[in-house]
Structure 1
């Protein structure tokens, strides 16, 4: 086929990859959420629109990490604090204040509207269906008049 199914990029090449292969709709980028926290707001600030979105599903449970020594007594408290920060929304609030436009392109919209100009060339299918419906209705009406008229008696009721 000539094209690679998977390409590996360095972090410094991530912005360029977003602007070239992702914008061309030939690839997607699968990477840690933290790498896009700075890239998406920068892209929004430059263009004024959300050209890129993060997916709704995540594969990492928390965006925070701290390093301690092995078997440290602080580890349970650090884990508990990290989960509390994320679950309370404080982490998102910090990101909002540290990076402008950080929440603008966070999730894709649920409804995407497409605006086009109405013309006869773009609506011909609708008129074709309407015309076929009228034609079928006329045929059914003629069949009812021809077949139904023979069954009517003098009394104006259908003869059984």
Structure 2
């Protein structure tokens, strides 16, 4: 996280349970949210308990585990287990980038505008050259 992700050249695609403790620690060290977890989740948080194979307690443990996760109690425990755990949980919806606009930063827009004008002039000339032969005396298309 501190090398490739901070340099903005990579992202990490992994279970968020691995980063639930790393993000608050990073916020505590730097005082700013440099890293965010995405809002969409591709896998639920794992919650596991170990029992013997074919144990009579397994159905009850599974039901309890599902209840803890689905009710949000597990997330609440994680939230209170780490100081600053909710500070960088959701990324900002609007990221404002302030830069000074100059000709060097806008050259791409001007080049696209120039290419568009060039294509428009070429198409206009082709219409006048090729389309002029098809026009009759009265200004109607000859069929």
Pairwise same-fold verdict (TM > 0.5): yes
Cα 1:57–1:50 change in 2 (3 A) is farther
Q: Contact 2:5 / 2:12 at 8 angstroms: preserved in 1?
A: yes
Selected match of 1:56 from 41, 49, 69: 41
Cα 1:51–1:32 change in 2 (3 A) is closer
**Please, what is the CA RMSD of the aligned residues?**
4.0
Flag structure 2 segments of 5+ consecutive residues without an equivalent: none
Q: Which residue of 1 aligns with 2:102?
A: 119
Instruction: State how 1:8-47 maps to structure 2 within 5 Å.
Output: 18-20=1-3, 23-24=6-7, 33=17, 35-47=18-30
Cα 1:151–1:103 change in 2 (3 A) is same
Flag structure 1 segments of 5+ consecutive residues without an equivalent: 1-17
Q: Contact 1:62 / 1:83 at 8 angstroms: preserved in 2?
A: no
Shift of 1:134: 1.9
Q: Which runs of 4+ in 1 moved over 6 A?
A: none
The TM-score normalised by the length of structure 2 is 0.62
Instruction: State how 1:1-160 maps to structure 2 within 5 Å.
Output: 18-20=1-3, 23-24=6-7, 33=17, 35-47=18-30, 48-51=32-35, 53=37, 56-58=41-43, 62-68=45-51, 72-106=55-89, 115=97, 117=99, 118-145=101-128, 148=132, 151-153=135-137, 155-160=138-143
Shift of 1:41: 1.5
